Structure 1
Amino acid sequence: MSAEASAPLSTDVLVVGAGPAGSAAAAWAAKHGLSVVLADAAVFPRDKTCGDGLTPRAISELMKLGLEDWLRAHTVNQGLRAHGFGQTLHLRWPGGHLPDWGSAVARTELDDHLRTLALDAGAVGVEGARAIDVRWNGDRVAAVIFRGDEGEFEIECKRLVVADGVRSPLGKVLGREWHRDTVYAVAGRSYVDSGMSNDPWISSHLELRGEQGEILSGYGWVFPLGNGTVNLGAGSLATAKRPADVAIKPLMQAYANRIREDFQLSGELRMPTSALLPMGGAVSNVSGPNWALIGDAAALVNPLNGEGIDYGLESGRMVADLLVERSERADLTQAWRDVLVREYGEAFSIARRLSGLITVPRVLPTGGPIGMRSTWLMTLALRWMGNLVTEEDRDGAARIWRWAGRRSAKVDSRPPFS
């Protein structure tokens, strides 16, 4: 059946984009009793450029959706193996108010499973429908116009949730702007056969070198998938002032060649893809009277490690809560931005500042060896860089992180989400 024929004419909540953020929003909104349509340009299952890693914070959100047993049937890891500057450190997930384990599931499977979860909760799925424009009623979105195989059609909505990824074409229609004066990333991933597919550690190489052996402001990763393969990728940080001058696919190949023996890699890199990643809330116009951007569309990506699945899942849950709390005529413009700033503003501010420093020449070659000589420092870095400080945490590391975030936010020339 074509997208046009299967699409409802109207709905309480229209979610555009069926990645983790959009599917989580659709699932939670449907659980709250709202009528929901979950639309996507692709036909599922479909691939997505991603490292596939699920940190304890992402695990926590997936557990809220009832997926713990499903995750444990995949691979389970106990922490990060950090490599670099002549050192290798094993850093366990800190636990505390978050689970003490992580996982990794290929996005082809994860996204399809989450979308199915949303449909099982009551959302109506529409595939193969690309959102190309909106119909306005004053300053509110009355309907979204889609293009399918048989032409254009529209779905009316009372509220709209935009979860269409890092480029967010529908977000641009609504006025979203990406600001590259703060840090962003250029990243790529591939799959490769490995004898360490069941390794209980994810690995990160913090001394990432280019094809000529130069140290880059980024890192490489190997995430075991438990199915005979690993997700192997690399990413480099950049700003408008210091843009990344790397070719990601050759960089991944050079990285794989360097670690091939240590990680028992065999065969060629498969399905290499790459993407630009807006990070740390570096977008403006994240909401309007009856619409809100979530996940990657709102630049909810950790500036220190490139992680975005946890933020996507969290923002999907939080926007669904907001839609239930507020009447359908309530203005979401300031309310949704306030939620994002409250939850992520300070942490994103300090994370952007720190990751921006890494793009400065000589900072990483000088500071990297010092950090890698201390398991204590790197454990602290894992907690901060891995977004593993929760609001409930009251220990010294959490207090320092929140203090630094508050101080950083006060001197931002462009705060997150502005």
Structure 2
Amino acid sequence: MPDPIPDQTDVLVVGAGPAGSAAASWAARSGFETLLVDAAVFPRDKTCGDGLTPRAIGELQRLGLEDWLRTHTVSQGLRAHGFGQTLHLPWEVPGGSLPSWGSAVARTELDDHLRSVAIKSGATAVDGARAVDVVRHGDKVTSVVLERGGERVEVRCRWLVVADGVRSPLGKMLGREWHRDTVYGVAGRSYVASGRSEDPWISSHLELRDEQGQVLSGYGWIFPLGNGTVNLGVGTLATAKRPADIAVKPLMRFYGEQRREEFELSGELRDQASALLPMGGAVSNVAGRNWALIGDAAACVNPLNGEGIDYGLETGRLVVDTIAGGHDLHEAWPALLREHYGESFSIARRLAGIATVPKVVAALGPAGMRSDWLMTLALRWMGNLVTEEDRDRSARLWRWAGRRSLARDARPPFS
């Protein structure tokens, strides 16, 4: 018999992925009565590359998870392949303030562990409960209707945090709108046995070709998990004007066959899954007076590499800081998102939009791959490994480009 669902709470968090569990952990640690709910029953899988960049590592360290992370694979950086070149690009960069290492943990394990951390922090967690309706008074949510096992329970809350993923059904009920005129991602992921699952480098193939040999606007990846398997996947970029005209799973299988010998892959790809990714803050209506969207629900996904775990963890922490500060979320939350991510998302999605043209990739890729210096800069910028604390030349250049890009946006991020 499942535990009863409480009928009221201070902070109700809907969605127990990295963003929601981080928010629930920080809310409970801040002294708020916190309820964390998810439609799935844990542990559950999630379509993802499973990679944890230094930015994500920093947030997980804040939650006290460094020792746990170090029992998993530790990566030194990115091994970039393409156009006849292979470059090793360390995570540690001069002038950077983030951790100098990364990792990869299957989302089935990562999300389940983060949910457990939220519970240990004092949050109450309920799974198998889907948010099916909201009760509002103006722009303030007074309660959320949850459905579990055919029964409905209305939960009153003072604050609502929406962390229900890229599709965000609850966000749609609250008025969230996704704008596809800027770049978005289409990605597929699988697992496969590998003799190189202990490899200390994650691999990215920047020259992604289809079976006809045509260069595509995307990349393939192989992330070692340290358990005899790797996460293997492909991702492509698209816009409303240039939609992705590919079949992701067949492309992923073709990519796997190309890499089989080099990465000592054995057996068939398993647990194949695909997803559509809103990116770069390409959503509007991300907050009301006492509610806010975070993580993937707010399109906090890097347009240049598809990374979203780091932003999910960050926004989970930042939204609780905003709530604890007594701010009206309707104005404060979009402003904070733009402050933290507006410039970087703007320039990143502009660059990613250019990369949706395969001819551009084919023309510029070889030149870029011939320069360790250029690719080191690209890694730092593409991985959003520039923080507000960084003052070196490449960080200043990135922020300068972001400001110029943002000033030209017809629709800035989160608007």
User: Which band: TM-score by shorter chain?
Assistant: over 0.9
Task: Tell me the secondary structure at the aligned position of residue 413 of structure 2.
Answer: coil
Task: Tell me the secondary structure at the aligned position of residue 81 of structure 1.
Answer: strand
In structure 1, distance between residues paired with 2:25 and 2:256: 38
Match of residue 64 from structure 2: 66
Match of residue 257 from structure 1: 257
Paired residues of 1:94 and 1:383 also in contact (CA < 8 A):
no
In structure 1, distance between residues paired with 2:245 and 2:132: 32
Paired residues of 2:13 and 2:163 also in contact (CA < 8 A):
yes
Identity %, equivalent residues: 72
Match of residue 179 from structure 2: 179
Q: How does 1:90-239 map to 2 (within 5 A)?
A: 90-95=88-93, 96-239=96-239
TM-score after normalising by structure 1: 0.98
Instruction: Please list the CA deviations of residues 139-171 of structure 1 after superposition, one character each: whole Å capped at 9, or x if unmatched.
Output: 311111111113221111000000000000000
Instruction: Please list the CA deviations of residues 277-327 of structure 1 after superposition, one character each: whole Å capped at 9, or x if unmatched.
Output: 00000000000011000000000000000000000000000001111111x
In structure 2, distance between residues paired with 1:304 and 1:139: 34
In structure 2, distance between residues paired with 1:200 and 1:139: 49
Match of residue 343 from structure 2: 346
Paired residues of 1:187 and 1:234 also in contact (CA < 8 A):
yes
In structure 2, distance between residues paired with 1:406 and 1:391: 14
In structure 2, distance between residues paired with 1:217 and 1:372: 16
In structure 2, distance between residues paired with 1:270 and 1:360: 31
Match of residue 307 from structure 2: 307
1:331 to 324, 328, 350: 328
In structure 2, distance between residues paired with 1:140 and 1:391: 32
In structure 1, distance between residues paired with 2:166 and 2:328: 25
Measure how far apart 1:409 and its partner are: 0.2
Instruction: Please list the CA deviations of residues 6-63 of structure 1 after superposition, one character each: whole Å capped at 9, or x if unmatched.
Output: 2111000000000000000000010000000000000100000000000000000000
Paired residues of 2:165 and 2:296 also in contact (CA < 8 A):
yes
Measure how far apart 1:89 and its partner are: 0.3
Match of residue 10 from structure 2: 12
Paired residues of 1:30 and 1:122 also in contact (CA < 8 A):
yes
In structure 1, distance between residues paired with 2:270 and 2:120: 33
Paired residues of 2:215 and 2:358 also in contact (CA < 8 A):
no
| Counterpart code for 1:204 | S
Task: Tell me the secondary structure at the aligned position of residue 355 of structure 1.
Answer: helix
Q: Is structure 2 residue 267 aligned with structure 1 residue 287?
A: no
Q: Is structure 2 residue 378 aligned with structure 1 residue 381?
A: yes
Task: Tell me the secondary structure at the aligned position of residue 414 of structure 1.
Answer: coil
Q: How does 1:262-273 map to 2 (within 5 A)?
A: 262-273=262-273
| Counterpart code for 1:75 | T
| Counterpart code for 2:314 | E
Paired residues of 1:75 and 1:104 also in contact (CA < 8 A):
yes
In structure 2, distance between residues paired with 1:360 and 1:232: 24
Measure how far apart 1:94 and its partner are: 2.5
Match of residue 88 from structure 1: 86
| Counterpart code for 1:76 | V
Q: Is structure 2 residue 404 aligned with structure 1 residue 407?
A: yes
**Structure 1 residue runs of 4+, over 2 Å off?**
none
Instruction: Please list the CA deviations of residues 217-271 of structure 1 after superposition, one character each: whole Å capped at 9, or x if unmatched.
Output: 0000000000000000000000000000111100100000001000000000000
In structure 2, distance between residues paired with 1:84 and 1:361: 14
In structure 2, distance between residues paired with 1:382 and 1:231: 20
Paired residues of 2:38 and 2:127 also in contact (CA < 8 A):
yes
In structure 2, distance between residues paired with 1:409 and 1:28: 31
| Counterpart code for 1:241 | K
| Counterpart code for 2:77 | G
Task: Tell me the secondary structure at the aligned position of residue 189 of structure 1.
Answer: strand
| Counterpart code for 1:374 | S
Paired residues of 2:18 and 2:114 also in contact (CA < 8 A):
yes
In structure 1, distance between residues paired with 2:99 and 2:382: 17
| Counterpart code for 2:363 | T
Match of residue 242 from structure 1: 242
Paired residues of 2:180 and 2:282 also in contact (CA < 8 A):
yes
Measure how far apart 1:138 and its partner are: 3.1
Paired residues of 2:183 and 2:238 also in contact (CA < 8 A):
yes
Paired residues of 2:7 and 2:153 also in contact (CA < 8 A):
no
Task: Tell me the secondary structure at the aligned position of residue 185 of structure 2.
Answer: strand
In structure 1, distance between residues paired with 2:38 and 2:309: 18
Paired residues of 2:217 and 2:236 also in contact (CA < 8 A):
yes
In structure 1, distance between residues paired with 2:230 and 2:37: 30
Instruction: Please list the CA deviations of residues 197-217 of structure 1 after superposition, one character each: whole Å capped at 9, or x if unmatched.
Output: 000000000000112221110
Measure how far apart 1:136 and its partner are: 1.5
Match of residue 73 from structure 2: 75
| Counterpart code for 1:346 | E
In structure 1, distance between residues paired with 2:153 and 2:251: 42
In structure 2, distance between residues paired with 1:198 and 1:70: 17
Q: Is structure 2 residue 358 aligned with structure 1 residue 365?
A: no
Cα RMSD after superposing both structures? 0.8
Instruction: Please list the CA deviations of residues 75-98 of structure 1 after superposition, one character each: whole Å capped at 9, or x if unmatched.
Output: 000000000000000000125311
Q: Is structure 2 residue 391 aligned with structure 1 residue 394?
A: yes
Instruction: Please list the CA deviations of residues 330-375 of structure 1 after superposition, one character each: whole Å capped at 9, or x if unmatched.
Output: 5210100011000000000000000000012410000000000001
Task: Tell me the secondary structure at the aligned position of residue 12 of structure 1.
Answer: strand
Which moves more between the two structures, 86-95 or 177-186?
86-95
* Structure 2: runs of 5 or more not aligned: none
